[in-house]
Amino acid sequence: MKIRIVFLIYNIVILCIFPFVLTSCSSEQKESSFKENKSFSQNESKKEEKTELDQKEEIALKTKHYKAKVVRTFPHDSSAFTQGFLFHNGSLFESTGLKFLSTLKQIDLEHNKVLKSISIPGNYFAEGIAIVGNKIYLLTWESNTCLVYDLKTFKEITTFNYYGEGWGLTFDGNSLIMSDGTNNLRFVSPEDFQILRTLSVQDGNRPIHNLNELEYINGEIWANVWMSDNIVKIDPNNGKVLAWIDLGSLYDYIDKERRIDVLNGIAFDKETKRIFVTGKLWPLIFEITIEEIK
């Protein structure tokens, strides 16, 4: 009888407590489910934020593209096989190539007048030029020789030797920068032509070969890409291509029946911030601005 009473009391207690236990479990499950949902929502939100950030970074890293707009045209000697091209103290300086035909000229652009001109010795194929102080440096294509002239008189002062081919040349205020037809640029000392460092030029993971005539403009290296209608803007610190400039529209100004060669020649007037371009055997020099292609 006592056992039955105890068993009865036990059942009554269980029946009284069970609803509370059930309610508690349900509450814990709801809370757990809420936390899981909240955590999932936060993770998804973070993923979306990260995706948006990645997209913004990807857009920022994309190489920019520009097109040239013609401001003005000037006559150009259509027999000039343009190799070096620069603007200095109000004058245009140009070196022209081909063996036995190579020259170095100083030109009054506004009046289309040659102020000074010399022939380069016949065994040299003249290439890029750069001015440092009162000297003008002139590369040669396959002779492994840089000829140095007095800027005022065009008299030869000295020569330097280097390995490989000589293509484009410019000056950044400290070093001469030289191209050799590859995707590498050499920074050399104007004092002895010793290599200070080399720079590999790439657009993303793609090396950009055939870098030709060079110009240093507002902290960037601009380079013609041989056998193309493009100029690339290069970061001198890491070799990254910052932008492509399409000059294909310039051909609209040239008679299609005329025999011309490739686009080559970039000159920058530091005083007026004007940019000039031309090509080998081109009848015109173009003053241009550039406009970003969106």
pLDDT in tens, 4-40: 444 444 454 444 444 444 445 445 554 555 445 545 4
Rounded to an integer, the average pLDDT of 268-277 is: 97
Band (48; pLDDT cuts 50, 70, 90): low
Distance of alpha carbon 232 from alpha carbon 81, whole angstroms: 21
High-pLDDT (> 90) share of the chain, %: 77
Q: Coil, helix or strand for 236? A: coil
One-letter amino acid at 70 equals V
Look at residue 210 and tell me whether its pLDDT is greater than 50.
Answer: yes
Distance of alpha carbon 192 from alpha carbon 170, whole angstroms: 16
Distance of alpha carbon 17 from alpha carbon 134, whole angstroms: 103
pTM for this entry? 0.80
- C-alpha dihedral (228, 230, 236, 239), degrees to nearest 10: -60
Band (101; pLDDT cuts 50, 70, 90): very high
- Determine whether 68 is exposed, middle or buried from the number of CB atoms within 10 Å of its CB (0-12, 13-18, 19+): buried
What pLDDT is attached to residue 61? 60
| H or E segment and range at residue 211 | strand 211-217
Going by the DSSP 8-state scheme, the letter that residue 98 receives in this structure is S
Distance of alpha carbon 179 from alpha carbon 186, whole angstroms: 7
Asked if residue 230 lies in contact with residue 243, where contact means CB atoms within 8 angstroms, the answer is no
Look at residue 81 and tell me whether its pLDDT is greater than 50.
Answer: yes
Displacement of CA 23 from its chain's centroid (Å): 69
